[in-house]
Amino acid sequence: MTPPPSPLLDGNAFRVRIGDQEIAFAWVGPITSGTDPASSEGRPVDMYAPIVLRRALTGSSELFDWRRAIVDGKVDRRDVTISQLSGPGGTVVVAWRLVRAWPARWSGPSFQAEGSSVAQEEIELRYDDLVWLAEPTADGTP
Strand partners, 78: 101
Whether the per-residue pLDDT at 10 is higher than 90: the answer is no
Q: What is the CATH number of the domain that holds 108?
A: 2.30.110.20
142 in a structural domain: no
Q: Tell me, what DSSP letter sits at residue 19? A: T
Task: Give tens-digit pLDDT for 77-104.
Answer: 999 999 999 888 888 999 999 999 999 9
36, part of any domain = yes
Q: Is residue 41 part of a domain?
A: yes
Q: Residues 55-84: pLDDT tens digits?
A: 999 999 999 999 999 999 999 999 999 999
Domain assignment present for residue 84? The answer is yes
For residue 93, the enclosing domain spans 14-132
Give how many domains the chain has, as a whole number: 1
pLDDT of residue 96: 96
In a domain, 91, yes or no: yes
Q: Is cis: bond before 30, omega within 30 of 0?
A: yes
Task: Give tens-digit pLDDT for 35-53.
Answer: 877 666 666 677 899 999 9
Q: How far is CA 49 from CA 11, 19, 40, 93, 124, in A?
A: 20, 20, 19, 23, 10
Return mean pLDDT, the chain: 88
Torsion, Cα 63 82 126 107, to 10 degrees, reads -40
